[in-house]
Structure 1
Amino acid sequence: MCQGCLPKGKKEIAEHTNSPVEQLFRDFANEKGAVRVGVGGMMMAFARSFADTKGVTDVKVYSFGECNQEVKDRLNEAIRSLKDDTYETLVSTSQDGERTKVLVKIKEDRIRELIVITGGNDPALVQIKGNIKPEDIESLIKEHP
């Protein structure tokens, strides 16, 4: 949407909705062979009745392992060049041709969004939204090293 077309004060919203991470998800979500699994809304409410969801309200996982090599190459290049100041980088690693980035969006001492981006031969994008305490992430990491 053109910035001049927005009412005054709405430009920030348009800029936010067009972050490079969000654009990465949009650009590759509908590629042939891409698999998307999403759990949100009613399913998360149902899950809360059986387990502590640690403040998670929505999870989306995109797997690109079944995509053709051209799609994987474009995605890997997009991951390599990804820079997004609206997220804080928690982890960025590159090992044996596989690149992984873990990004977070924090507001009022809570993780509102956690993004895991993995490149290589079996690339994947994961988006977790919610109202998550950082210590809950730490405890999950300790439980599942």
Structure 2
Amino acid sequence: MMKRIITPLLLFVFTISLNAQSSIDRLFDRYQGVDGFVTVTISGNFLKMLGQFDDDDEFLKHSDKFTVIRILAQEDDDMEVDNFYDLVIDEIDKGGYEEVVRINSSDADVKIMVKADGNIFSEFLLVAGGDDNAIIQIKGKLTQKMIEEISESINDDNIFGLR
């Protein structure tokens, strides 16, 4: 009798845990190990350690607030990708996200979204397509000032060729 109850219960819990995987997790899983793409995951603990060595870096001075940074990027410029931005933006479950920046130009599309609880942002998500195909996800307890500094450093580095 107990076996009849436990088996369906375990199957139910397993099914729920599979469905709980976020759309962002699925995108990272899909492109992980695919030729022409690179995925990078940096733990919050590693960032905290880096922050102790470089207190002049604007990004790292807040390293104790990050739980994880994940980057998915196309590293092979010669590889043809069918509109990466449109492909991934349609797959992202946007529930809970607020769009804060959108840039559309002839050679690049960029969207920045955040998840917030009051004045604290729990997630920063950047999706870029065009000349530079990438997804950047930052999780933690971020303030508006930190988000602005991240956005400015991305723009200052001109990683999306928008100048």
CA-to-partner distance for each residue in 1:100-127, whole Å, 9 max, x for gaps?
Answer: 1111111353111111110013201111
Bigger relative contact order, structure 1 or 2 (CA pairs below 8 A, ≥6 apart):
1
Partner of 2:84: 75
Q: Residue 98 of structure 2: which of 88, 91, 108 is its match?
A: 88
Q: Percent identity?
A: 20
Q: TM-score, normalised by structure 2?
A: 0.66
Name 2:34's counterpart in structure 1: 31
Counterpart residue identity of residue 26, structure 1? D
Q: Secondary structure at the match of 1:100?
A: strand
1:6 to 13, 23, 30: 13
Give deviations 1:17-47, integer Å, cap 9, x for gaps: 3443333333323321212233214421212
Distance 1:111 1:14 in 2: 26
Aligned residue runs from structure 1 range 1-145, under 5 A: 5-6=12-13, 17-50=20-53, 51=55, 52-53=61-62, 55-66=65-76, 68-69=79-80, 72-73=81-82, 75-82=84-91, 84-139=94-149, 141=151
TM-score scaled by length of structure 1: 0.73
CA-CA distance at 1:141 after TM superposition = 4.8
Q: Is the 8 A contact 1:65 1:121 kept in 2?
A: no
Gaps of 5+ in 1: none
Listed one character per residue, the Cα deviations across residues 42-101 of structure 1 (whole Å, up to 9, x for unaligned) are 4212123133125223212221141721xx216333135355123111112211131111
Structure 1 CA distance for aligned equivalents of residues 66 and 83 of structure 2: 30
Moved more, 126-135 or 103-112: 103-112
SS in 2 for 1:45: helix
Question: Computing the radius of gyration over CA atoms, which structure comes out larger, 1 or 2?
Answer: 2
2:62 match: secondary structure: coil
Greater percentage in helix: 2
Supply the AA of the counterpart residue of 2:50: A
The change in CA–CA distance for 1:141 and 1:91 in structure 2 (over 3 A counts) is closer
For structure 2, the residue ranges without an aligned partner over 5 or more in a row are: 1-10, 56-60, 157-163
